[in-house]
A = this chain, B = another copy of it.
Amino acid sequence: MKSFRLFSVILLAVLAYGIAGAQQSLRINTGIVSPEINPDKSVTFRYSNPAAGSVLLSGDCVADNVAMTKDADGLWTYTTKPLKGELYSYNFVVDGQRVLDPSNVYMTRDIAVWVNYFTLCAEPYDQGWYYEVHDVPHGNVSKVWYNSPTLGVDRHMTIYTPAGYEKGDKHYPVLYLLHGSGGDEDAWGDLGRAVQILDNLIAEGKAEPMICVMPNGVYFNQAAPGVAVSMFQPTTDNSRSSSTKEIEESFPDIINYIESNYRVIRDRENRAVAGLSMGGRQSCALSMRYPDMFGYVGLFSGVVPPKEASDFTALDSVFTASPKLYWIGVGKDDGVKANSDILRIYLNDKGYPYEYYESDGGHIWRNWRDYLIRFSSKIFK
């Protein structure tokens, strides 16, 4: 035992040598706690930079960029007011330059931009609670390649299977969950916290155990950065991103893969499709192209084509088949709210039943996570 403790000391000394002497070596943290969630649910940020002239905190936990305060040691701090439960993302702005918090290992990617994040739970079952990991049964997450005969390539997707899937022979319903323009198969699982949302909703009995399939919805990308053959830099700044015809045409390749490789219930009442922004547009288009495929359709800030570019009469066959739920969610301040409005006018004129949820805020992940909680609690019931 004594020799073991001695060994620990030797080991740490050896590791410290390794750290000092090597690149890509073992790393230690900064020794600074940032962010720190205080007992009153305010949050303190800290950043050491004695040379900086100005450091701002930028993020959705403050109304606008705010100046941090520097102490005599060059440590910059800022404390927010008490916050409500949410996943918050942020970065610092150091003398005008966007800088990530070196003391916070929690980072996530929004298309081409990395942000720091933290989750905060102010009370049980608030949004933050659903985004955190709790001591409940956890589903597994697979990143799989499927072949798309329609597109002539192998493509990558993320698949969530609920806790208990590996045991027994139960068959499950499937939610196909689509990201926005410039996104990829990592978006919903990472920044979207879909895995935690479904784990928690299912554990609470608020959602049915389901498989959730999150494909890559940009037709000219096979996969996310680091997994695709090309080391591309993702971007929304590409007019090709607005063409989703290829994904719509090849979508049966995805469904065929899932229904051949997973224990799923293969009928309309056990298939749902939902998506955010471009993925909402795709969900609308998929419902029209395959009216017998999906019993549940969700449009989250859906960029539905304006009436002059789209033949909404295809919706007639969707509603003739009586979908179990056609759900439309959008923020009051969302730049694409007009697109939802145009679709709703058509549905209202025809008397087609749908559910509409209008939230605060704009074209933001805070809304899309919340819409996922709401939508996934309503399906397969």
Interface set of A (CB-CB < 8 Å, partner B): 3-4, 6-8, 10-12, 14-15, 17-19, 21-29, 49, 51-52, 59-60, 89, 94-100, 102-115, 118-119, 132-135, 137-138, 140-145, 154, 156, 163, 166, 180-182, 191, 223, 225-229, 231, 233-237, 239, 242-243, 261, 277, 303, 305-306, 308-309, 333-336, 339, 361-366
Q: What 8 A-B pairs have minimum CB-CB distances, sorted nearest first?
A: A18-B363, A23-B60, A27-B113, A17-B335, A7-B309, A24-B365, A22-B362, A29-B112
* Nearest Cβ on chain B to A97's Cβ, whole angstroms: 5
Asked if A239 contacts B133 (CB within 8 A), the reply is no
* Nearest Cβ on chain B to A246's Cβ, whole angstroms: 14
Asked if A309 contacts B6 (CB within 8 A), the reply is yes
Asked if B142 contacts A21 (CB within 8 A), the reply is no
Q: Which residue of B lies closest to A337 (CB)?
A: B14
Asked if B154 contacts A23 (CB within 8 A), the reply is no
Q: Which residue of B lies closest to A111 (CB)?
A: B27
Asked if B21 contacts A225 (CB within 8 A), the reply is no
- Can you show 8 pairs from A to B with CB atoms below 8 A apart? A15-B236, A25-B364, A27-B110, A51-B96, A51-B97, A105-B113, A106-B231, A140-B144
The complex places the Cα of A333 from the Cα of B111 at a distance, in Å, of: 39
Q: Which residue of B lies closest to A108 (CB)?
A: B226
Q: Which B residues are in CB contact (< 8 Å) with A52? A: 95, 97
* Nearest Cβ on chain B to A119's Cβ, whole angstroms: 7
Q: Which residue of B lies closest to A104 (CB)?
A: B233
The complex places the Cα of A339 from the Cα of B13 at a distance, in Å, of: 13
* Nearest Cβ on chain B to A215's Cβ, whole angstroms: 14
Q: Which residue of B lies closest to A8 (CB)?
A: B242
Asked if B59 contacts A23 (CB within 8 A), the reply is yes
Asked if B114 contacts A21 (CB within 8 A), the reply is no
Asked if B135 contacts A229 (CB within 8 A), the reply is yes
Given known pairs A133-B228, A228-B133, the reply for A182 and B142 (CB within 8 Å) is no
Asked if A105 contacts B110 (CB within 8 A), the reply is no
Asked if A97 contacts B26 (CB within 8 A), the reply is no
Given known pairs A97-B94, A104-B233, A105-B109, the reply for A23 and B364 (CB within 8 Å) is yes
Q: Which B residues are in CB contact (< 8 Å) with A27? A: 110-113, 182, 236
Which residue among A10, A115, A243 has the maximum number of chain B CB atoms within 10 Å of its CB?
A: A10
The complex places the Cα of A175 from the Cα of B363 at a distance, in Å, of: 45
Asked if A21 contacts B227 (CB within 8 A), the reply is no
The complex places the Cα of A18 from the Cα of B301 at a distance, in Å, of: 11
Q: Which B residues are in CB contact (< 8 Å) with A4? A: 305, 309
